[in-house]
Chains A and B, each alone.
Chain A
Amino acid sequence: MRLVALQVAVVVAFAALAVGFWYLQIVQGAKYEEMAANNFQRTLALRAPRGVLYDRNGKVLVENRSAYTVSIVREHSTDLDRTVQLLSEVAGLDAGDVRQVVDRRRNEPIYRPIVVIEDASLAQVAAIAARRLDFELPDVVIEEVPTRQYPTDALAAHLFGYVGEASDAQLGDGVTRGAIVGQSGVERVYNKLLMGQDGERRVVVNSLGREIRTEEEIPPREGRRVQLTVDYDLQKAAEDGFKHAGFNGAALVMDPRNGEVLTYVSLPAYDPNDFAGGIDRATWASLNADTLRPLQNRAIQGRYSPGSTFKLVVATAALEEGLVTPDFKVNCPGGASFFGRYFLCHLKGGHGVVDMRHAIEKSCNVYFYTLGNMLGVDRIHKWADKLGMTGKTGIDLPNEQESIVPSTAWKLERTGERWYPGETISVSIGQGQVSVTPAAMAMMITTIANGGTRVTPHIIRAVDEGGGWRMATPPAVAERVAFRPETLAALHDGLWMAVNAAGTAGRARIPGRDVAGKTGTAQVISIQGRQAARGNTGRDLRDHGWFVFFAPKDTPQLAGVIFGEHNEHGYLGAPIAKHVIETYFAKQEGRPLPVLPPKPAPAPTPRLEPDPDSPPVLLETQPVALNQSAVGSRQ
């Protein structure tokens, strides 16, 4: 009897076991299968190299190099604090910083590596590897990852931009946490092309976390190769030119026929390599604190008053509106009265009777006061717009600033006040409320160079999406205005004379190349303000200098702007332009590239030559009622 009970008990027990296993293996099987897979499989990301950037001739500009990252995998940590301590000691880091990095990513899955050193030095790698062999740092891994390699001398830094870990806002659309994305410049605008596709490696690990074998490897797909429109040699020539001249600034040189950017400079620059391996806090802080603002992309983000270069806009407007012909003459006695005020020309004795060509050559203020007064501010605005000097140029770089050329509507909207005609006088020589970026200036001179076609500056030339180079579609031409032949002839002649005759830009003269150009000076502060501020401000109050140019005069192949920050004289930019132009033609004709002469003696003080672009001196003949105007306020 009791034996039967035992039999039954045993059968019931085994049935219970069978049910238990059925539940475990069949009902919950999938769940445990996944857990088992998580146990022994690890998916390691293989970072894709970003696409290589080439210049227009196929020279490599930005490539990738191998960097070593050092990470902590908490899954294998026995004592995380000890690891942090020891790792910091071995690698020469601040333990507090390392701890902070680890703490910040505390909530991520423990098998995901936390990168502690982005771009470890070989010494660090060696020191850590030695400790790893001793099993002192079992939870530290060293990985080789492709990292961006930029030219060593920060060449074209603001053009390339820089990369960094994706911010929360940048996630999605193929960008995962921890991914490296372009944060500025071409890297940012063409990030999608350049980024490539990260691969992954699925490995089998044992219970100690040691890799046993690779199960599957999806190789990373390198980002697309991208060819830029810039020319390395011209870029270098421009930057060398700035170095040689000894000031900062910006330059933008394009092919006026199609808007391809050949040279793009903004100085001072940062070293994009600092960002490639994750920028450290000290470098970032110093870049931000630098009073020279190296992070500002001056060519599209800096706004300055255009000074005398703006006279070209006024000249174009007056000719195209049919108000005057190039033969229109004005007598310059050294100044003129408008609206009860006397506006000076920069040449004390006056230029005498000048026509349009000579007015441009000599940069005669009185001539352009007169034209400006005839035009009115709105027609000046209209033609500034047609020349591409207002708003954004549409260049394929991020965070471009809008350039401003005032109009009556603009002023009314902005200040609620009507426009005073007296303000137009100073606008007509590029002072007052005109405020434009170097890129806008390049647009203006390019449009004048090519006869009225407003090409959009662009940087990308071709993309290799796997099937070889494919030319990028250039952006649509914004506007095509065919200038009257006599307008063009007058403008081009005047600009040619400014360089090749008795003008202000003789330093850009290249025999046989017919360089055309115009200098300008942008006031940083009024003369009176300067006197008031003398000695008690740390700001650099010296004027900025402009030089816009194109060459050759009749069939322009390149056009652009040199902006010299606080260099005081526009004509100091001319040698930079000259060096770029010479390089361009030397290259075209297969001659050796020109070399800059050894640095000249420091800039002469006192001034040896009068600067024709100096801001006009205003003589008051009556009490001023226009104290709202820019001219008035300068008084």
Chain B
Amino acid sequence: MFERRLYHHIDWGLLVALLALCGIGLANIYSATGGWTGVVETQIYGIALGVVALVVCLSIDYRSLADKSHLIYIGIAALLLYVLFFGAVRGGSRRWIDLGAFNLQPSEFAKAALALVLAKLFGESRRGVVTRVDLLIAGALTAVPVFLVARQPDLGTAVTLIPVAFAVAYVAGMPMRALGVLALVAALAAPAVWTFALQDYQRERISTFLDPAQDARGAGYQQIQARITAGSGGLWGKGFQEGTQGQLRFLPVAHNDFIFSVLAEEHGFAGVLAALGLYLFVILRALEAARLAKDRLGAYLVLGVLACFTFQVIYNITMSAGLAPVKGLTLPLMSYGGSSMVATLAGFGLILNVRMRRFTN
């Protein structure tokens, strides 16, 4: 199954960059949680498990995976449905399946599954152009997991699924007109969404974002603290484990959603540039894989996975600087979280897979 020559086509540069980011994340988690704790250990297990998932996703030809994509998709949808009713509740939302040793977060895996099924849909379209029917089907396929995740409720993760559909459809040749229509619909729907679809806490978060000072001790607190955390880092940062904001817990859940703020505080603008450079390298390198892909399926798969990753990276980093509303969105590869780590590395397994098999038939 794993031919020797494929080994030479693995993108080692990308792999090293991925692991470097994991390492940086680990170091910052270590710093933010105050040393060697269970959190750090769990993260190490997550990375190890993620590497295994990566290897697995790399080993199986993405085309055979794509052939089974509908099954994977249905399986994930079933898990999401299960979570909605039987999932473990934490912090007011049902997102996890309690497996004893660890908790599984199916929504993280929905990203790769959606990318796979959409890549399959557009990549195997015989006609070569994107039809309205295709778009409608894609929309429906996207809407199901988005709806299920949003109901948990986990609006952050739900929103990250949408770029998957857009990226794939866009590269597949979706007419710009359709994009314009969608944008118009979104603009028109916004007030309605504001009124009916959003929960109170979500509305509060957005209005707080627009004016954090109105509620400095409440919802605006995290945003202000995030800005202070990042801003006080200066050029070279305060040093490893020397950050006052993260160490003294002015920034809540620093090891999770705000891991990049911790990095910005302790390693300054220099550290930020290094991390941003690594992420940019990863993304451009993965885009390269899409360009090199042997078939449209491969290219779309790469883009689907990457879209979700890129969106999350950019959003989380923006939020880490206190420049975007606070959402429960982790920073892939760096934030604490086993499911996210495994799913992300599995996704990159698919990307490496596509690049590795660019010469195979």
Contacts and interface: CB of A to CB of B under 8 A. Distances in A.
Contacts of A40: 244-245, 248, 250
A25 B264 CA distance: 8
Given A14-B279, A18-B276, A205-B248, A36 B318 contact: no
B321 A21 contact: yes
Given A3-B171, A25-B264, A33 B235 contact: no
A29 B287 CA distance: 34
Given A6-B167, A13-B314, A205-B248, A29 B290 contact: no
A25 B231 CA distance: 4
Interface stretch (B49-57, B141-149, B267-275, B351-359): B267-275
Contact of A31 (B231, B272, B303): B231
Contact of B234 (A6, A17, A33, A206): A33
Interface in B219-245: 225, 227-235, 244-245
Nearest to A9: B310
Interface in B246-272: 248-250, 252, 264-265, 268-269, 272
Contacts of A6: 167, 170-171, 287, 303
Contacts of B170: 2, 6
A212 interface: yes
Nearest to B234: A29
A35 interface: yes
Interface string A28-49: 1101110111011000000000
Contact of A33 (B231, B272, B279, B291): B231
Given A14-B279, A26-B234, A33-B234, A207 B290 contact: no
Contacts of B249: 206-208
Tell me which of A35, A36, A206, A208 has the highest count of chain B C-beta atoms within 10 A of its own C-beta: A36
A246 interface: no
Contact of B245 (A18, A22, A28, A36): A36
Interface string B311-348: 00010011001110000000000000000000000000
B232 A7 contact: no
Contact of A25 (B272, B280, B310, B318): B272
Contacts of B230: 21, 24-25, 32
Contact of A10 (B228, B232, B310): B310
A17 B314 contact: yes
B20 interface: no
Nearest to A34: B232
Nearest to A38: B228
B269 A36 contact: no
B171 A18 contact: no
B248 A206 contact: yes
Contacts of A28: 231
B342 to A, nearest CB: 24
B226 to A, nearest CB: 10
B60 interface: no
Question: Which 7 pairs from chain A and chain B are nearest by CB?
Answer: A32-B231, A36-B232, A206-B248, A32-B232, A25-B269, A33-B232, A29-B234
16 contacts: A3-B171, A6-B303, A10-B283, A10-B284, A10-B310, A17-B318, A18-B272, A24-B230, A25-B234, A26-B234, A29-B231, A36-B228, A36-B231, A36-B245, A39-B228, A40-B250
Given A24-B321, A207-B249, 12 more contacts: A3-B291, A10-B280, A10-B310, A17-B314, A21-B272, A22-B269, A29-B235, A36-B229, A36-B250, A39-B245, A204-B248, A212-B248
Interface of B: 167, 170-171, 173, 225, 227-235, 244-245, 248-250, 252, 264-265, 268-269, 272-273, 276, 279-280, 283-284, 287, 290-291, 299, 303, 310, 314, 317-318, 321-323
